[in-house]
Structure 1
């Protein structure tokens, strides 16, 4: 912007200088030409009057007496009546000249000549003065343009930094003003927006903290109750007793995982920069989820299988990763069809966990918007995938829709390279 302001100002000044400069040059050249002709004519009239007065007074007319009255640098020729030779003063100019004649009452004739080279020299001096004035005007305009561009661009740059800082999550108002009404208005709006965003973030964090705190107590009570169920499961049928313990163990694992997620939300609400990502065995999380969801899939007459590379370690929060995977498996159970496949693979320095099914897929009108809150193609709340993506990003990963039909959701996590691989690489 600063460059455009300077160039536009200079362009306007150059156009004005060019238009007026050319006009001034034409006028000045015409003026100098006419002035020279008028001076030569006036001198011819003045000299013929001088010659006539000396002739009437019967004084001698010589080159010396006429040279005193003639202007320097001009050629003068005096033709007297009778057989007297002409009198010449000065050097006859070569080339093109400006010439004028005057005749006296007694037959005297005076011719005055001036070389056009002198006219051109005077015109050149005038053009030089005009050029210097034009350069001075352009220089002054450039200095003024730079000053004005800085005065306008610096506040805009500052406002852009303020907006960028506001978008990055720092809602502190800056309260800077620039003595330019339009820019001050933008600054007022940004400060007001910062205040509103700050209040909203504070309210959201307080709400998350309160909700997390309130959820911890019932979850703890639920965990204790499940532990009691496992400890007191008494029945004569060994298979039934084993089934009760298995279901209670799975429910307890789910409650503990949910407790970890709630605790993580509570910690993040107090300090969003706090992270709990660690290296963990991805196979254990996948195996845990398959065991938890197999009964539900058996009841629906569907299968849940896994494939791909095993023995992978990823960096993240195991509870959050399990919650993301549970969301994808539940979506496939509720909205998909056929077999649901979990596949693990490696790409670069990342571990990828894909979830796909044989259902109708994601509606074409939704596309990547399926991760937006309140966006759903099946009359649900639309929060599941949005929360799952937030959990993934909080661990430094990402959740993406790789393919709409058949649907393929992929969770990307940083890969933890084993010491053996690192040693081999070194």
Structure 2
């Protein structure tokens, strides 16, 4: 914007200088030439009077007697009746000529001035005009730069205020600039900041309340599952029943352990939400073994897939470490796996790979995929193609972004969802 203001100001100044400068040069040139013509005519008339006075005084009119009356840059020709013409000075090839004569004595004086002298004076005038125009351009540049700064600085400040709002800092700045239009924008931004602050406060309070209310039933459920595991262990140790009964007891214990692990992970997520609601800047991202999280999800969801007559498998590169919150990553993968179980078909595969400085977990199935009308809108809240709430994928994407990663739909048919996380690179030991 500054450049545009400067360019527009300079354009106006240059147009004005061009119009008035050319006109001034033409006028001055004609004025100088007219003044030169008037000067030679005046000199001719003056010399005629000098010659007449010498004739009246009966003095001789010669080149020597008239030399003192003739300027050095003039050529003079004096014509007297019955006498040879008297010429003084060098006759120029291109000259401005002025002539005067006297009737009673028949004296004629012709004065010539070289046009080169006139052109030199026109050139000096042109240089002066150009110097003034250059000073005008420099002054215009300085004024344009100053004006551009005065106009652009408030706009830059308003842009920074809007950027602060977008980055999550809703504090109003209460700055005004003395320009009604800009002050109006500042008023709107401050009002928006106050509204955003109230909304964020309300959302954080709601998240804190919900997290606090969920902790108690989750703790109770965890205790009940632990009791089931303990009871199953006691029954298994004292049971002398047939093998089928012992297998059923072991199955109950396994299911209880899986449920207990899920409750613990959900408790970690609730605790993380509670912490973030108190201080959004606090984070719990750490380096963790991605294989363990993927393996945990496969084992937890395998019974549900087996019951549905489907399979869940894992593949890809092993030994990868990522940076993030293990509980949140597990929750994201659980959302994708559950989504594939509810809306997909065939086998579900979790594949790990490396993409640059990131690790990627892809979840795909053999179902029809995402409706082409939805596309990437499948991550928007309340958007669902199968009569669900539409919150699962939106919450999963929020969890991924909170850990510095991202969740994307790489392919619609068959569906391929990918979770991108920062890769933890092991530091090489330094040698002595």
The normalised TM-score by structure 2 is 0.90
- 1:313-345 alpha-carbon deviations (Å, 9 max, x no partner): 333222212211110111001111111112223
Q: In structure 2, how many angstroms separate the alpha carbons of the residues matched to 1:351 and 1:41? A: 98
**Residue segments in structure 1 that go unaligned for 5+ positions in a row:** none
Residue 16 of structure 1: CA displacement?
Answer: 1.4
Please give the residue correspondences for 1:49-64 in structure 2 after superposition, counting only pairs within 5 Å: 49-63=49-63
- TM superposition shift of 1:413: 2.5
Q: CA deviation at 1:31?
A: 1.7
Specify the alignment match of 1:326 in structure 2. Answer: 334
Shift of 1:129: 1.9
Give 1:146's aligned residue: 145
* Worse-matched range after superposition: 260-269 or 158-167: 158-167
Q: TM-score, normalised by structure 1?
A: 0.91
| Unaligned 5+ runs, structure 2 | none
The equivalent residue for 2:90 is 92
Which whole-Å CA distance do the structure 2 matches of 1:169 and 1:86 have between them?
Answer: 101
Q: Counterpart of 1:14 in 2: which secondary structure?
A: helix
Match among 101, 104, 109 for residue 102 of structure 2: 104
Q: CA deviation at 1:384?
A: 0.6
C-alpha distance in 2 between matches for 1:143 and 1:349: 49
Deviation string 1:27-76 (CA, Å, 9 cap, x unpaired) is: 11112212211221232233223423443454443446544554453222
Cα distance in 1 for residues equivalent to 2:132 and 2:356: 66
Measured after TM superposition, the shift of residue 145 of structure 1 is: 1.0
Do the aligned residues in 1 keep the contact of 2:99 with 2:111 (CA within 8 Å)?
A: yes
Aligned residues: 422
Q: Distance in 1 between matches of 2:423 and 2:6?
A: 52
Which string of whole-angstrom CA distances, capped at 9 and with x for unpartnered residues, describes residues 104-148 of structure 1?
Answer: 222211111111122112212221221222122112111111111
Change (3 A) 1:411 1:47: same
Contact 2:92 2:113 in 1 (8 A): no
Alignment of 1:40-55 (within 5 A): 40-55=40-55
CA-CA distance at 1:153 after TM superposition = 1.8
Query: Are 2:222 and 1:214 equivalent residues in the alignment?
Result: no
Partner secondary structure for residue 309 of structure 2: coil
1:310 equivalent to 2:338? Answer no
